[in-house]
Amino acid sequence: MTHYTASFVDILVTGGAGFIGSNYVRGVLSGRYPEVADARVTVLDKLTYSGNLENLRTVRDDPRFRFVQGDIGDAALLAELVPGHRAIVHFAAESHVDRSILGAAPFVTANVLGTQLLLDAARAAGVDRFVHVSTDEVYGSIDEGAWTEDWPLRPNSPYAASKAGSDLMALAAHRTHGMDVVVTRCSNNYGPYQFPEKVIPLFVTNLLDGRKVPLYGDGGNVRDWLHVDDHCRGVQLALEKGRAGEVYHIGGGTELTNRELTGRLLAACGKDWESVEPVADRKGHDRRYALDITKIQHELGYVPQVDLDSGLAATVRWYAGNRDWWEPLKARAALAG
């Protein structure tokens, strides 16, 4: 088992200006993870619509921080950038299911080909550890029980299929070339700085503006909710202590139907069900996701620390107090649409 210490870690974080990646970067540079308290961090981000330098404003003046705007699909850039880094934490991905249904090609290009090019560059540069961050959606849907890490992959959306492909390329790099690769798969994330196309920030910002929120189908789809702080804590444990070639699930431990989640958000924003607009269900909408997190608990000591009630309340407060962050994003999205 490889253990990483702050004395020799330079970390490359792809997608580090996005929701989850920026949370991880802020955590490293603020000392949230003692094992990498002195690490230098390079963020590589293409700054597509969901990447935002404002997500990194609290760390951008840190001398240990460097930002590079670029694409993981740019092999020449990777050949120049990757050498010198001892670890890569790979968050970069196209991640919105509805967008993948409208057009799958960008998801395959970014998630599968981009990941493979990054793996190639990491192998050529002799990177010590590569953490590939993935999703529970690669498994499809489960009626009861919970997926373990060896469950067959049965993705149902183009997004999920592209992530499954990237997972397999990462694991193949370990099995074929002996690369030190660890894969993490998480449940639905929430928290501050999440782009307002995702359900929680979309609903909260709509409700704060007195607008209605769209509830898919009968609202009976079930998701496990994971605060982004807990997710990033699990990713860091995988970097520090995960076994090469292994997959680890990172979950929050609280399942809700979409209807139950909507009710909580309505209450938090002082609204009622008059603010809900039922809409036709998404194509191929998975009914239920559920991750078994026994492995990461037993092997790496992961325990989710943010309970859903307090996490949702804090998230609603953050969006209420940070209109200057999300209002321009929603305005640009409306103009683009």
Q: Long-range pairs for 201-204 at CB < 8 Å and ≥24 separation?
A: 201/315, 201/319, 201/326, 203/262, 203/265, 204/265, 204/268, 204/269, 204/315, 204/316, 204/319, 204/320
Catalytic residue among 45, 71, 94, 137: 137
Is residue 136 part of the annotated active site? The answer reads yes
Is residue 62 part of the annotated active site? The answer reads no
Is residue 159 part of the annotated active site? The answer reads yes
Are the beta carbons of 204 and 191 closer than 8 angstroms? no
Burial of 337 (0-12, 13-18, 19+ CB in 10 A): exposed
How far, in Å, CA of 123 to CA of 45, rounded? 20
Catalytic residue among 45, 71, 94, 136: 136
Catalytic residue among 24, 33, 139, 159: 159
What DSSP element (H or E) covers 160? helix 158-177
How far, in Å, CA of 11 to CA of 38, rounded? 11
Supply the residues annotated as catalytic.
Answer: 136-137, 159
